Structure formats: C-alpha cells, structure tokens
Amino acid sequence: MKITNEGSRLVLKDNNYIGFILGALMIVLGLFSIYSSLKSAGYLVDLKEVGIVIGALFTVLGLYSIISNKIVRVVFDKGSGRCFISFRKLIGEERKEFQLSRIKQIELRKILKSSGTRSRSMQYQFILVIKLDSKEEVPLEFGKVSASVMDVVKAPDDEKRADSQMIADFLGMPLEVTGPPSVNEMLSTIKEAIGKRIEKETKKSD
C-alpha cells in the first residue's frame, strides 16, 4: 500500500495490480487449454474433455479474481476532519466515511501463515486496523512479507511498522502492534534478558 503525505491529507492507496495480472493470466491459460483441447486429435476424446474442464476452471477462477479484486483508497483529511475509504471493484464500489475524531487507535496485526504443501514456506500477513469509538474495527490489508532466516538481520515488519507509525503520528493516535514476534525480536528479547541477568549478578557480587 502506497502512502502519500499531502500536508493536511494522508492518502493510502493499493491498486492491487497483482490480482488483475494473475486473473488475466489464468483466463489466458484457460482459454488456451480449451482451444488446444478442441484442436487435438479426435481419438483423444477423454483427454480433450479433461483439457476443456481444466481450461474452463482456470477461466472462471481468472474472471472471479478480476471481478472480486479491490482497489483500496483511504484518505485521512484534517481539513474536513473526516476519513474517506473506498473499495472499488470492476463492478461496483463500497464507500465508508466517518469523523477523524472517532478514531481512537491504530493497530498493526501480524499473522504468521504457511503457504504450499511441500516446502511449507512461512509468511507474515499484515492487517492495519482502524479502531473507532463505537468499538467498530475497519481492517485494511497491509501487505505480506516472507518469513526467512533473514529475520535475524532485519525484522520483516520494520517497514510495515514504520508505515503504521506514520499513520498513527499523523492522526496523533497510539499505535499497537500485535502478533507473533520475529526471530530478530525474540533474539533481542533474549539478549536483553541475559543483559539484565548479568547486571543483576554483577550487583550481587559487588
């Protein structure tokens, strides 16, 4: 999600190009599979049917991906004192609007998920949550980051945390970060605990 500070306005926008691109690729592959199956030799009837079914499935999934894909735009406008949120799809648009004074907290939720069946690669999914005075929550997808051994060098949520802090600072609201700690954060906690233990033992010996 791209964040732009326009002085009295903070604009968040996510065009979700990946969803459109993946959907278009699936449609192309599906239509190609159907076309190839129809052009195949007549004696391969069973194989033709399988190819047509697979092609139709890919085409339907691709269309669904494109139709359901959302372009998200969030505007925090201090000039009008309001927040404007729009979720625009290929067909239709959903809008939400409320006073900035209703926002009580900004939360960055970090969720650890596994992807794939063999490699079981892990990734962090981030959700930016706008908490209102009515206890209503407005969740916004804030991106995904692969979890790897590089966590030791740099926490995967550093950039997301910085972006969330920018939003919270603009609104003058506290930022709460929830979710499982990264390897870097766990090592930092252990290091801090060991340091305190050593300091405590040193004071005892004195």
Q: CA-CA distance, 154 to 182, in Å (whole number)?
A: 9
Average pLDDT of the segment spanning 166-177? 91
Residue 160 — φ and ψ, nearest 5°? -65, -40
Q: CA-CA distance, 109 to 161, in Å (whole number)?
A: 10
Least confident interval from 96-100, 119-123, 161-165: 119-123
Q: CA-CA distance, 131 to 57, in Å (whole number)?
A: 39
Helices and strands (H and E) in the chain: how many: 4, 9
Least confident interval from 8-17, 85-94, 141-150: 141-150
CB 98 within 8 A of CB 160: no
Confidence check: pLDDT of 114 > 80: no
Confidence check: pLDDT of 118 > 60: no
pLDDT digits (tens, 9 = 90+) for 53-88: 888 999 999 988 888 888 899 999 999 999 999 988
**Token pair for 90:** 């290929």
Going along 116-181, which residue ranges are E strands? 121-132, 137-147, 175-178
CB 157 within 8 A of CB 126: yes
pLDDT computed for residue 7 by the predictor: 86
Please report which residue ranges of the chain form alpha helices under DSSP H: 17-39, 45-68, 158-171, 183-205
Confidence check: pLDDT of 165 > 80: yes
Rg (CA), the chain: 24
pLDDT computed for residue 203 by the predictor: 67
Residue 197 — φ and ψ, nearest 5°? -65, -45
Q: CA-CA distance, 67 to 62, in Å (whole number)?
A: 9
